[in-house]
A and B are shown apart, each in its own frame.
Chain A
Amino acid sequence: MQQLLLRLPGHRIYPKCMNSNTMLTTFKMGGVHPPENKLSAKAAIQRLPLPKQLIVPLGQNLGVAPKLLVKKGDEVKTGQLLARGEAFISANIHAPASGKIAKIDDALDASGYRRQAIFIDVTGDEWIEDVDTGSSIIADLSVSKEDIIARIKAGGLVGLGGATFPTHVKMMVPNGKKAEYLVINGVECEPFLTSDHRLMLERGEELLIGISLMMKAIDAPRAIIGIENNKPDAIEHLRQLSSKFSGISVQALKVKYPQGGEKQLIKAAVNREVPSGKLPIEVGCVVSNVGTAFAVYEAVQKNKPLIERVVTVTGDGLAAPSNFLVRIGTSVSELIQAAGGLPDDTAKIINGGPMMGKALVSSDIPVVKGSSGILLLKSANSSRKIPKSCIRCSKCTTVCPMGLEPFLLAKLSKLSLFDRCENERIMDCIECGSCQFTCPSMLPLLDYLRLGKQKTGNLIRTRK
C-alpha cells in the first residue's frame, strides 16, 4: 500500500499532515520543473584510482581560508593536516593522498581567478595513524556531544551540498535557541546530479549513524530526511533502515525545484517559514546535506578527515555518466576522462547542476569539497538566446520561491538603484535561477540579481 501511494503522480499535497510518512509534501511558493535527466541514477559509485598530482586549493569553505602549515618539499601522509582553520568560521584542510609537496602556488579556480593552492606529487596512499580505514560499520553511539563536535572540526568538514559552511560551526547551537529538528537534505533537486541518491542507496546505514551523531551534537530529538519522489528506491531503503534508529523519519517530497534550498526544504518538511534575514535555527531547525552526514559518520566513528567525496560526472553526449568517489584535488579532466572522455560538441563544463552550477573556464581545475557534480552540456542545450525586452508577463514573480519580483530587481540593479533594491528585499534572493529559467524574453535576470545582491550587500556593510 505504501508503494502504491508513493508511485502516485506527485500532484497531491497535504499541507496539514506533516510528519506523516506516506503523504507527499512540498513548499507552496514558486518553483519550476526543469527536466530531471538523472542519467547516472543507476550508476553505482566507483572509486577513481589515485591521480599523479593533486592540487588542493586553500579556499574551499565559506568564511576565512585556513592557515597554511606545510611548505614546499614536505612529505605528507593521507589525512595529514595541511592547513588549520583558525578563525571562527573556517575549516581544516587535509592531504587527500600521500606524497611530496611540489610547491605552494596559485592555481586556477572555477572562475579563472588564481588562488593559493597546495600542489602534491602523489606517491601512494599511506594514511596517518589513528584513522580506521577498515570497511566495517561502527554503530556505537556512545561518543560524547563535545567529542562529536571536536572530531567534526578536526576532520575539516564543510557542507557538501555546495555551500561549504563549516559543519562544526553549524553543530554549535547558539545560546537561547533550541533545535527541534535535524532536517537532512536528500532532495538533490538539481537536474542531472545523482551523488546523494547513490550515497543514500549504497551507504544508508552509515548515513543514519551519522545523522544520529548529528542529532546528539545539536540535542535535537527528531530528524527528518527529505527525499524527492523521483528516488522511490532511496525513500524505501531509508524508511526500512530508519526503523532501527530512534527519532529518524523519511519525508517523501513532490518533485519541484528548488526544494533543496534550505528554507524551502524546511517549509516542505516541517511547514515552518524561516524569517527573512535569519537562520533556520530561528524555527528550531538545522539543515545538513546527506553527503555531510556521511562525512560526519566517517569523521566521528573512524577519525577520518574529509579528503574525498562522491562526484557525479554526467551530460548528454558523455559515453558513461557515472558517480565517482574522488579525492579532493583531482583534476576535473581526469574525471571526464574516466567517464568516457570529453565529447567534441561540448559547449559548457559546469561545476554543479545546470540551475546553479558554475561554468568552468577549463577542465584543468581541481575538484574541491563543494563540487557535487561535473556536467557537460552541448551548445544547443546551453547557449544563451538573445534577450528581448520584458513583456511584463510576471512569470518570474510566479516562480520565485522567495516571493520576490525579479523583473523589478533586475531593472533596479541595472540602473544601479541599490537602495531601492534593498527595500524590495533583494538580499532574500537565494539565487536559484528559477526566474531566468522561466523568462520568455530570455532576460539575464539572475545575472543582474547577483550583481545587485553583491552591490547592495556592500552598501549595507559600509553603512554599518
Chain B
Amino acid sequence: MNDILLFTLLTLGLLGLFLAVVLYFIAQKFKVIEDPNIDLVEDVLPKANCGGCGFPGCRNFAEVSVAAANEKQSLEGLNCPVGGNEVMKQVAAILKLEVAEKEPMIAVVRCNGSFANSPAKVQYEGPKSCAFAHQLYAGEGGCQFGCLGLGDCVVSCDFDAIHISPLTGLPVVNDKCVSCGACVKACPRGIIELRPKGKKDRRIFVSCVNKEKGGPAKKNCSVACIGCLKCQQVCPYDAITIENNLAYIDFEKCKLCRKCVEVCPTDAIHELNFPPRKPKNDDGTEQSKQLKVDATASAASAGSQNLS
C-alpha cells in the first residue's frame, strides 16, 4: 500500500510542479502591460459600475482618468458622482494633480401631483411601466406632464435611493442618492432633475413641470404652477425664469432666501429642510405656509397639509 501512496504522491506532485512552471511562462508571455496607476485609481473608486460618470464601469473611468492625466495633465470634465469629492481627491492625489471641489448633487422629483392633489379621473390597467403609460395616455389625474407613479425610476436605481410612496403615489428620494442620473434618464417625462444638495441639505425648487396655461393646469392638479409670475417678481437674485407658463429656479443663482416660496399662490415651490418660520402676525395664511412639503420619507408619514 505504501508503494502506491508514494507513487501517487510523486506523480501528482511532479505533475503539479510541471504545470505550475508552464503556467508561469505562459503568464509572462501573455502579460498585458498597463499603466500601474490604473489599478491604483480603480482601487479607490466605489466599484458600483453605475455609469454615473458617463463611462461604462469603474475600470473604464480609471483608464480614461489616467489617460487624461498623462496627456492633458488635468482631470477636467471627469467626475465620479457616487464617490463624490472624497474619491476625486484621492484619484487626483494618485495622479499628482489638483481637482476642483464639486457641489454634491441629489435627484429632485419636481412633481407634487399626489393622489390628493391630483385625484384620479380614470383607472389605469396595464403593465407597471411609465414608458408605456406615457405613450398610452396623459395620466390618471389628467395632467399630461405629471408623474405616472408606476416606478420606472425605482427600477433604474442601483442604490436603493428612490421609492414610490404608497401615500402619495410619487417617488421619494432618500439619503442614499449618489446623483448618478439613472432615474433622470429613466423618467419619460423629465420630471426628475439633479440639483445641488445645498448647505445643510437645504434646497428650493419648483415642484411642477406643467407647461399648460393656469386654468387647465389647475383643473387637473391643485398645486400646479400656473405661471403667474409672482415668484419671478419677488426674487431679488434674478434666479427665476418663466417659460411656457412654468417657473424654473436656477440653482446657480438661488441664494435660498425663500421669498418665492411665500408668494406662490398654489404652493408649487417647495423648500426642504428649513426651520419653520416665525409667524409675522397671527392670521391663518402665514401659519399655513410653515407646513411645507418635506419630500424626505420621514416627513411624508407625519402628513402635512399638501400630503394628506
What residues make up the interface of A, taking CB atoms closer than 8 Å to B? Answer: 106, 111-114, 359, 361-362, 383-384, 414, 444, 447-448, 450-451, 454-455
Contacts and interface: CB of A to CB of B under 8 A. Distances in A.
Interface range on chain B (Cβ under 8 Å from partner)? 10 to 19
A451 B121 contact: no
B237 interface: no
A448 B216 contact: no
A226 to B, nearest CB: 31
A140 B139 CA distance: 52
Contact of A361 (B132, B135, B138, B216): B138
Contact of B121 (A114, A362, A414): A362
B141 to A, nearest CB: 10
Nearest to B123: A347
A114 B212 contact: yes
29 contacts: A106-B212, A106-B216, A111-B136, A112-B122, A112-B137, A112-B138, A112-B139, A112-B144, A113-B137, A113-B138, A113-B144, A114-B138, A114-B144, A114-B212, A361-B138, A361-B142, A384-B125, A384-B126, A414-B127, A414-B129, A444-B126, A447-B127, A447-B136, A450-B132, A450-B135, A451-B129, A451-B131, A451-B132, A455-B131
A325 to B, nearest CB: 29
A383 B135 CA distance: 20
A455 B131 CA distance: 10
Interface of B: 121-122, 125-127, 129, 131-132, 135-139, 142, 144, 212, 216
Chain A at the B interface: mostly helix, strand, loop or mixed?
Answer: mixed
B216 A114 contact: yes
Contacts of B139: 112
B137 A361 contact: yes
B135 A444 contact: no
Contacts of A362: 121-122
A112 B126 CA distance: 16
A43 B231 CA distance: 59
A244 B106 CA distance: 75
Contacts of A106: 212, 216
Top 10 nearest A-B pairs (CB, nearest first) are A112-B138, A111-B137, A384-B125, A451-B132, A444-B127, A112-B137, A113-B144, A361-B122, A113-B138, A447-B127
Contact of B125 (A112, A113, A383, A451): A383
A454 B136 CA distance: 11
B191 to A, nearest CB: 16
B189 to A, nearest CB: 12
